[in-house]
Each structure stands twice: as structure tokens, then as C-alpha cells.
Chain A
Amino acid sequence: MSSAPSLAAAIDPRTKMPQERAELHQIDESTRVLALIFLGTSAVWLLVGTIFALIASWKLHNPEFLSTQEWLTFGRVRTAHLNTVIYGWATNAGIGVSFWLMARLSRTLLRHAGILYVSGAAWNLAVIVGTFGILRGDGQPVEWLEFPRYVTPLLFVSYALIGVWGIITFRFRRGEHTYVSQWYLLAALFWFPWLYSIAQIMLVFAPTVGVIQALTNWWFAHNVLGLWFTPIGIAASYYFIPKVLGKPIHSYHLSVVGFWALAFFYNWAGVHHLIGGPIPVWVQSAGIVASLMMVIPVIVTAINHHLTVIGSFQQVWNSPTLRFIVFGAMNYTLASLLGSAMALRSVNSVTHFTHFTVGHAHHGMYSFFTMVMFGSIYYMLPRLLRKEWPSAFLINVHFWGTAAGITLYVVALSIGGWIQGMQMNDVKNYPDFLQIMVATKPWLFARTIAGLMIAVGHIAFVVSFVWILIKKRTVEETSPTLFNTPPTLSLKTS
């Protein structure tokens, strides 16, 4: 840590830096420890979250499983799963990727990263204590905000520091041009502490009366997806797709429309979780309109991501980074369009309150965001550590386990949820609720199978991660680990 005057000077962009323009490897070097802290902890949380997920999933078709333990009752394990994957895995991974991207794109060194190490440690400590609190029964009964109130101030302070530091890094940017990924990152880093602090105040510390709680809850919870994870996922896709393919994105001008349409409409979409509920009809309609208008930024992003990829599928298939990221980008388009359709009253009356919604949530958070983060990590770690991934086989297991697993997950819960919704709306033929519940069991079992496939992928990922950290750097490595080495990249052996 440095003294106060040097800190003040360091966050002032007018301070002249010794070099005019930092070199790429220096920039990577300045983000290395930070990125490793956040990405390393995210991998641990991914495993923890997966274990909670499997327990919760198993309980839904075998309710007697671990049922004597109050700490592991469904309502708590499920909540521990959500909070560990959201605030442990996804947020840590998102922060690690964001800082690395922000420093690279702003062509500036990350300054005084020590403050970020402390925030990272505090953030993770808060997630550990918070998860423990949830299992103990101290959680707040507010969806997506379950961490007990004794850890949330620590979460807020550590995140606020992270957000401010990201914005400061952006202020130090060199060159006239800001790239589209930077807009998204800047916005995400700013939006999240706002969302989090307002939701904490209006729901936990000074709860508002009646249904305003529900409105605040879904304004927050949907925006965590829309204004925090989605922008980071899009920023990473906008960076890695053209970077790895070595060609510009399809239409840079369109991306401006995409950004502002997302910023403007995504904000309002959360109300679609309350359609038909005891809230004013005008605000439901506003939420439905906003959800439908999301088609604009989604199509724009789809044009830019998919049309850039067209013609280069061989490269996508060979590169671990792109295989994950393009899978993520394709699912972003699909999940978002389905999400807009789900806001229509006629569709919503079927899917609301069913497992369809759970499938959709995983479609967005996993098939899109998590896969993009995996792809980003496959690009970043070799550059941060100056070593290559030890095993293409493990990466393959990771890809197929997660890609097939999550696809089965989303398909099974979508079909099962749709049937469940149709039956719930058909009182004449399905008067007995128990009958409807029993009919969901095979689909819930399929979900457990999908979860096991994903878990295999996660184990392969964490083994790779640990392996690349501990393996020795060798001089022979000159080419990256790809699934199929193209002829131009093969090493000369003679």
C-alpha cells in the first residue's frame, strides 16, 4: 500500500506517467495478481456452488435425502447454491475478466492494485460468512439478496472500491478511441453498486411497505442479470471474437444502438416477474413493453457477434476460447429472444411459477454468461502466467460436459415446465395439484443428470486451472493449446 499523496496523484489522470504508452505485456503484468485472486476464488466457488446445486436438485425428486438436517433443507441449500454461484463464481470471474479487459482496452497499467487485493479478500470473506449464515437460517428472505444483513455492508464497501477502481482505470485511458467493450464494462461497474445499495436499503434495512418490496426486489434481481452480468458477458464477447479471429466486428456503428437500447430497456424489464400479481397494471405493461424492446439490442448484438463469426467456424472450433464464447454468444441471442417471448401475457400465463423459469434463468446465467467467462479464462491465464494449458483433453471434457449438460438442463426444464404450466391452467382435467407435481418428477430427475454432466466439466476445468498454476514454465512451448493444431501452427520437429 502506498502513502496518501502518491495515491491521490495516482488516481489523477493528469499525472504524467513515465512512459507514454504501456506495453501489452506490462499491462497484463499489472493485472496478474488481481486477476489470479479473482479467477482463482471464482473457480473454488464454482465447485462449492455445484455441490449445493446437486444436493438441491436431488432433493427435488428424493425429498427424504438429508432431510433431518435443518441446515441442508431444500430452502437453504437452493439459496446457498444461488448466492455462491452469483456472488462467488460469477461475480468474482466477472471482476477478474473486467479488470484485465479494462486495463488492456484503456492501454493503461492498473495502478495501486493493492486496494483491490484487500477488496477481493473482503468480498470473498463476506461470501463465506454469508453462505454460512444462509445455511444457519440467518438469511434475508428476499430473492437474490439472501446474504444476512451482517455481511452486506462489507460486500457493498468491497464492491464499491472495485467499481470505483474500474472507473478510475477507464479515466486513465490512452488514445482518443473507446471500444464498445469499455462502455459495457464502465456501465456494469457503475450500475452494480447502485443496484445493490438501493436494494439493501429499501428491502433489508428500511423495508418499504407491501408490494413495493416486490417491485424493488425484481427491479434489483433482474438488473443484476441485465446490468451487471450481461454487460460483462457482452463486453468479453465483443473483445474476444474479433481478437482471436483477427478481423473487425461486423458493424461498429450498430453497437452504439445496441448499447443504449440495452441501457434504456433492460432496466425496466424486471417487472415481468410480477405479471398478473397485485401491482398496478400500468407497471406490468411497462415491463412487458421493455422486455419486448430488448429484441433491438439483442438483434444488434447478434448481428455483430454472429456475422463476425460466419466464415470462420473452423477457427472457432479449434480455439478453446472461441468455442466457449461463441457457444455463449449464440445462447445469449436465444435466451434473450425467449425471455422477451416469456413476457407476453399469453406465454407468461403458462410459464410463470413453473420450472420453465428456472430453465430460462440457467440459460442466461450459464449457457451465456458462464460459458463466456470460461472462454475468457482460457485466453487470459496463458497470457498472465506465460504458460500454455497443459491438456487439450481436459478442456474438451470441460466443454462437452458443460455444453451438453446445460443444453439438457434447459431443454428438460423447458418441456417439463411448459407441461406443468399447461396443467396448472387446466383446472377441469387436472383438479388435483399433487398430480401435477408428480408429473414434474421425471423432468427434475433429468435436471439432476444434466447437473452431474456439468459437474464433470467443472472438475476438468478446476484440474486444468490448478495444473496450469503449478506446472513449470518450459521454453519449448511456442504454440497455444488448441483442439486441432492447424497446419500453419504445427511445430517443426526436425
Chain B
Amino acid sequence: MNNGPLLFLGIFFTIAFSWSGIVLTNLVQQTEAGATQPLFDKDTEKVVPAPMTGDAKQGQQVYAELGCVYCHSQQVRNSLSRDGGTSVDVERNYGRRPNVARDYIQDGRIFLGTMRTGPDLRNVGQRLPSVDWHMQHLYNPQITSKDSIMPPFPFLFEEREIVGEPSPKALRLTGDWAPPPGYEVVPTARAEALVAYLLSLRTDYDLPEAPKSVE
């Protein structure tokens, strides 16, 4: 081990090997297999997975800025037991089927996540389709989910004096949460984009390589 160049070559080779194996091989393999391309579903005449809408794209940016990924994953895992069986994530209603690589190709930046301080969000648009619920929950999670440890995001909302007609977008807040009389709480554009993004999170299509969806 006193041979400098040999030591250096070994150091170079080991990192090159892991990068080629983990990153490059998978990149080539997935590209070759066409797993990075969307499919055309003949029955519904739709492209799956569907491209993200503009609103959802902006909402994804808010999701990134606020660091949602540090507490919420976005992946329905396969069954981890040796004999197959149903996935716990599917049982918990995180989604109707485990996710596969192709599900993420339209996402741009992906948010697989590594933590479930809060629940998985890959299909939150399917599980909780109500805009009102999400707005209240983001304004203060205690309104919809008492004792939650999720932080409130009051800065995504604006409390303002009602001038003329109340806004149709104003949050329906009651009891302690209600603003003073003559005032209303309305979501900012960021809150609306974020909710649009959350509602867009749904794996509601089948793929040939993915396990069948459960009903």
C-alpha cells in the first residue's frame, strides 16, 4: 500500500464502479426499456401518466419551497413480505396499487421522500378530494386534524376586511378559528396552486408493468 498511483487508481475505480452501477446502468436500462416514456391508453384515449397542469406545476414549486418532502413521502411501496401478499401501503389506502418508475416521468422534480412524520401523499387527491378540507388543513391543521404536529401555514392566507360581497374563496371557519366580524380569510395564489398540486396527486390508471389496482 505504499504505491501512490495504484492507491489512486483503486480510489478512482471504486467510485466509478458504483456510479456506473447505480446511476448509469439504471438510466440506460430504463431508457432502453422505454420506461421513461408515457403510454397511450387506447380504451380511454388518454396519455398515461398525464402531463402536469400549469397550476399543479406552480403548486409543486410551493411544495418544494416549504419543505413538505421532509415529512411526507410520495411512493406506494410494494409488499415487503417474501411471499408477495398485499402491500401495507395499499392496505392503508395510500393508493390502489404500488408505484412503478413510469409513474414519475411527468413530475419534473420528484419527491419520493424518506420520511412519514405525516402520511404518504402520492394519492392524496384521490383520498381527500375536497378543496375546502385542504385549505382549512393548510391554514391550521388543528381545524381538521386535532393534535396533528404539522405546522400551520398562515402566511399562505390573507386575513382582510370584507369590502362589498364576501369572497367565494373565503375559508369557512367557525368557532375559535373564525376571523373577527367583517373580516375574511382568503387563500393566496400560492395556497391555491399548492392545493391544485395536492389534488393532482393520484395514480388512477393502470400500467402494463405495474400490479393491478385494487378497488
Contacts and interface: CB of A to CB of B under 8 A. Distances in A.
Interface in A407-454: 424-425, 427, 433-434, 437-438, 440-441, 444
A368 B10 CA distance: 26
B66 A75 contact: yes
Interface stretch (B51-59, B112-120, B176-184, B192-200): B112-120
Most buried by B among A207, A209, A268: A209
B163 interface: no
B105 A256 contact: no
Contact of B112 (A227, A264, A274, A441): A274
A278 B10 contact: no
Contact of A213 (B4, B25, B109): B109
A141 B99 CA distance: 21
B214 interface: no
B110 interface: yes
A416 to B, nearest CB: 11
Contacts of B125: none
Nearest to B93: A427
Contact of B2 (A67, A178, A190, A274): A178
B151 A279 contact: no
B187 interface: no
B153 interface: yes
Contact of A280 (B29, B69, B105): B29
B19 A63 contact: no
A210 B1 contact: no
A214 B104 CA distance: 11
Most buried by A among B30, B141, B149: B149
Contacts of A60: 117, 149
Which interface class (under 10, 10 to 19, 20 to 34, 35 or more) fits B?
Answer: 35 or more
A180 B149 CA distance: 47
Given A425-B88, A438-B147, A183 B27 contact: no
Interface stretch (B39-47, B71-79, B166-174): B71-79
Contact of A210 (B36, B115, B117, B147): B36
Contacts of B4: 170-171, 178
A73 B67 contact: yes
A277 B2 contact: no
B119 A268 contact: no
Contact of B101 (A79, A177, A279): A279
Which are the 7 A-B pairs with shortest beta-carbon distances? A75-B67, A267-B18, A276-B77, A141-B64, A353-B116, A349-B80, A210-B104
Given A75-B70, A75-B71, A434-B148, 18 more contacts: A79-B70, A139-B65, A143-B69, A178-B4, A183-B7, A190-B12, A198-B23, A211-B110, A263-B14, A276-B80, A277-B77, A278-B101, A278-B112, A345-B80, A357-B114, A424-B92, A433-B92, A444-B149
16 contacts: A59-B151, A63-B150, A63-B151, A73-B67, A75-B66, A141-B64, A141-B67, A198-B19, A211-B104, A215-B23, A260-B10, A264-B17, A283-B26, A345-B82, A427-B88, A427-B92
